[in-house]
């Protein structure tokens, strides 16, 4: 589900995200089938992101040591989306940081800890900069 600044809410499936846009699949009102559309992030107030099973397992820290390579790869993949409202990238970054601490891997830890300065799930604000989570 995405909510636009116009107030419209669109039930959809997110096919792809980039720093400038979302590519979504949705059922048009009164239509048959599905349509694909690109939506600029500038038009999006919030997104209800669904985590796939692997992402959820990585966030929950199930078997972090054997999954360290995959955890790092997913972190690299979602880190550019850290500033997006409601995106669970920050939770993954914190899980990566915990795994780095547990495994004694300081080089990866410094990259993972960047999430702590940009994502504040409890206060609803971004790290050092202004802004709010919708």
Tokens (6 digits) for 3: 């909510």
Nearest-angstrom CA–CA distance, 79 and 3: 22
Partners of 40 in beta bridges: 21
CA distance linking residue 11 with residue 50, whole number of Å: 12
Start-to-end Cα distance in the chain: 14
In tens, the pLDDT along 27-39 reads 988 878 899 999 9
Q: How confident is residue 128, by pLDDT bands cut at 50, 70 and 90?
A: very low
Phi/psi of residue 7, each to 5°? Answer: 100, -15
Over the stretch 15-74, which tens digit does the pLDDT of each residue have?
888 888 999 999 988 878 899 999 999 999 888 877 888 888 888 877 655 678 888 888
Distance (Å, whole) CA 87 – CA 76: 14
Domain ranges of the chain: 2-47, 53-118
Is residue 46 within 8 Å of 22, Cβ to Cβ? no
């Amino acid at each position: 589900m995405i909510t636009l600044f116009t107030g419209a809410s669109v039930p959809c499936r997110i096919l792809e995200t980039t720093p400038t846009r979302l590519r979504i699949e949705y059922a048009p009102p009164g239509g048959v089938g599905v349509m694909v559309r690109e939506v600029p992030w500038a038009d999006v107030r919030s997104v209800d992101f669904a985590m796939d099973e692997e992402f959820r397992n990585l966030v929950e820290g199930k078997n972090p040591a054997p999954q360290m390579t995959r955890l790092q790869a997913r972190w690299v993949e979602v880190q550019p989306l850290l500033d997006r409202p409601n995106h669970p990238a920050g939770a993954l970054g914190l899980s990566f940081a915990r795994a780095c601490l547990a495994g004694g891997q300081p080089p990866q830890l410094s990259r993972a800890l960047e999430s702590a300065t940009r994502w504040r799930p409890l206060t609803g604000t971004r790290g050092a900069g202004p802004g709010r989570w919708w």
